[in-house]
Amino acid sequence: MVFLTAMLVIIIIYHLQADGLIYAIIVALIAELLNIFMAHALTKSVEKKMLARIRKLVDGYSKRIKGNRKTIQNLERIQEESVKKLYNANIKIKEYEARLDVLEKSSPDMADGTAENPQHPAPGKSPSEITAQTAPPTDKPTGKNQVYSDLPSGSNRKKLPL
């Protein structure tokens, strides 16, 4: 655009000689005005395109944030339910431990419950208590021989010398 304006100015000055300078200045001003309007229009169109692109990105991120919030709320709800279940399970475990302590503190005849007749359980005992009492001893080491291992069961890795 500037090149064409310059060529037009040179042609006008050449043909009109003295009066051509005024016409050349007028043509140059009009060309600069057109150049400013074209640059303004180009800037506006680029601005609209960038605004649309940014709006699309912002919408995508806002949708992602909303989805993450829903997921977080669902996970928090599941966590609360799990905590309630664990709390109730711990309460039951404490009750069973208390019952077991009471049975262990009582006399050996009552603690066994199956001393006289192994086929019929003692009155007032639940089957889980009887199976807990009659279960064979486990092979876990107790007392000073108990060794802590962070390896999963069945692992063939060597234990660290700690």
Angstrom distance (rounded) from CA 30 to CA 38:
12
Question: For residue range 69-113, what is the model confidence (pLDDT) as tens digits?
Answer: 999 999 999 999 999 999 999 999 999 988 888 888 875 555 455
| CA–CA separation, 162 and 159 (whole Å) | 8
**Using an 8 Å Cβ cutoff, are 9 and 28 in contact?**
yes
Q: What is the pLDDT of residue 136?
A: 52
For the chain, give the mean pLDDT: 76
CA-CA distance, 73 to 158, in Å (whole number)?
43
pLDDT recorded at residue 116: 47
Contact between residue 110 and residue 122 where contact means Cβ atoms under 8 Å apart: yes
Q: Which residues of the chain have a pLDDT value below 50?
A: 111, 114-120, 140-141
